[in-house]
């Protein structure tokens, strides 16, 4: 096991960003994503026990709900694996902090801004020409003008961030580099030698955990590995099925077995079984 925890685990993500003592880390990270007029100086973590929850998402998705001093509501999610209808799900969950603002009696329907920020350990942009590491979304009209600026989505596709240490351009880049490389660091790189990251490294150091925390982290890490393996198996099975369909067509075109093997990478046995 490495020196630092895996931030993609439930335990790791909440250890860094979901504890009262570490609110400054979350505030610093969020302020890289929020517009200047919504920058945070203080926030409170919200009790979300009353919010609906889809139990089948829990192993792949975990979240932190918070509210700023001036009333903005923020959902910060870490998603380990792709879920069906990803965009629909994001919109669905953003409705909860909208609906809970409703007031009995006379109410003018004025809402406070809502930000849903999702750190994704997968790519949902499958078309290469349309891939964006950071996608910022708000409601716009047919001319691209903002229609409503109080519902905002920020989707961060971590696999699309490939900058090396000497390519980091700003503080946001440093945060993403920190999260993506954390479990592989053995020492703090010079580029992250700043008080906020020094604190984050201290919190993330496995040696600083209590025995109970270490046990919780191990359990969280096993779930992370399990989810990744399930996704990989599903993807591999999907690719094999696709290759078999291609091989069938090539066989129907009377190509030789060697030609089919070269085109698909399938084995003799798999081709003979078609």
| Distance, CA of 214 to CA of 206 (rounded, Å) | 7
Is there a single domain that holds both residue 204 and residue 243? Answer: no
The length of the chain in residues reads 274
CA angle 79, 233, 255 (to 5 degrees): 130
The residue among 164, 183, 210 that closes a domain is 210
Is there a single domain that holds both residue 187 and residue 66? Answer: yes
| Distance, CA of 263 to CA of 257 (rounded, Å) | 10
Flag whether the pTM goes above 0.85: no
CA angle 59, 19, 30 (to 5 degrees): 85
Q: How many CB atoms lie within 10 A of CB 112?
A: 14
- The alpha carbons of the chain give a radius of gyration, in whole angstroms, of 23
**What pLDDT is attached to residue 239?**
80
219-259 pLDDT, tens per residue?
A: 999 988 888 887 777 777 778 888 888 888 777 776 777 77
**What pLDDT is attached to residue 173?**
97
**What pLDDT is attached to residue 57?**
52
The residue among 174, 190, 210 that closes a domain is 210
Residue 5 lies in a domain: no
Is there a single domain that holds both residue 81 and residue 125? Answer: yes
Domain range spanning residue 258?
211-274
Number of domains in the chain: 2
183: which DSSP letter?
G
| Distance, CA of 218 to CA of 7 (rounded, Å) | 13
């Amino acid at each position: 096991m490495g020196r630092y925890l895996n931030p993609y685990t439930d335990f790791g993500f909440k250890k860094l960003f979901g504890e009262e003592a570490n609110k400054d880390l979350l505030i610093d990270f969020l302020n890289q994503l929020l517009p200047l007029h919504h920058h945070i100086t203080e926030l409170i973590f919200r009790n979300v026990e009353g919010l609906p929850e889809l139990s089948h998402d829990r192993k792949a998705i975990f979240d932190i709900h918070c509210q700023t001093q001036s009333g903005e509501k923020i959902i910060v999610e870490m998603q380990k694996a792709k879920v069906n209808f990803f965009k629909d799900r994001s919109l669905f969950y953003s409705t909860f902090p909208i609906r809970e603002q409703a007031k009995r009696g006379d109410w003018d329907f004025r809402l406070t801004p809502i930000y849903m920020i999702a750190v994704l350990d997968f790519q949902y942009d499958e078309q290469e020409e349309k891939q964006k590491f950071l996608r910022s979304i708000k409601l716009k009209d047919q001319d691209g003008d903002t229609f409503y600026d109080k519902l905002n989505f920020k989707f961060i596709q971590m696999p699309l961030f490939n900058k090396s240490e000497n390519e980091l351009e700003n503080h946001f880049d440093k945060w993403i580099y920190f999260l993506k490389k954390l479990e592989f660091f053995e020492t703090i790189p010079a580029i992250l030698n700043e008080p906020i990251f020094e604190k984050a490294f201290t919190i993330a150091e496995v040696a600083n955990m209590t025995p109970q925390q270490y046990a919780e982290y191990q359990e969280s890490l096993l779930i992370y590995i399990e989810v990744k393996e399930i996704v990989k198996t599903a993807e591999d099975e999907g690719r094999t099925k696709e290759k078999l369909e291609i091989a069938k067509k090539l066989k129907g075109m009377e190509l030789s077995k060697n030609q089919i093997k070269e085109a698909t990478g399938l084995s003799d046995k798999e081709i003979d079984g078609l």
